[in-house]
Amino acid sequence: MKRFVIVALVLVFVCGVSLASDPALGFWISVDERTGLPTAGWEIYLVGNTLHGRILSVVGEPQDVKAFNCRDSYRGFPLQGRVSEMTVVGTPWMFGLTQDRAGVWSGGNIINPDDGNMYRCRIVFHPQDGNRYRVDTLQVRGEIGLGIGRNQFWRRSTREAASALR
């Protein structure tokens, strides 16, 4: 019994360390795939064992703009209240992703606060390699089903830079 407890504690510690150091966690700047320009600053963080992401700042909008194009509620949304009355900044628009392996998360959702559409979400971390990825990059894929969707490639950032976009 003592051996079982020790093994269980070691497994909990190892799992906790691997989740805490996942390369997808941290601060990111989303980039418009057509123009290459920044659109928003994000924080990607854990709630228990699920990955969530909230917008810290948006480009070209007041920072207190409401998500008025959103529905009042969404299945699995992590906050109580009417989503259509929440501000774009500070709301967890990405939620419920579970880890497939280090840097790869899926099974959750992402909501586009501009139009209110919710998509299945998968993210993949790509480390800077000097070739295709000049900086640490987060590939964010939103899908409506049957593999139909689009990718965005977000750039690693700092809290200060992700919070300062206007």
What SS3 state is found at 91? coil
- The enclosing domain of 82 has a CATH number of 2.40.128.520
The DSSP bridge partners found for residue 17 are: none
Note the pLDDT tens digit of each residue in 68-119: 999 999 999 999 999 999 999 999 999 999 999 999 999 999 999 999 999 9
In a domain, 4, yes or no: no
Average pLDDT over residues 7-27: 60
pLDDT for position 13: 44
Q: Total structural domains in the chain?
A: 1
pLDDT for position 145: 86
At 21, the amino acid letter reads S
At 121, the amino acid letter reads C
Percent above pLDDT 70 for the chain: 88
Give the range of the structural domain holding residue 100, as residue numbers without chain letter. Answer: 23-163
Which residues have CB under 8 Å from 162's CB, separation 6+? 27, 28, 29, 41, 42, 43, 56, 57
In a domain, 2, yes or no: no
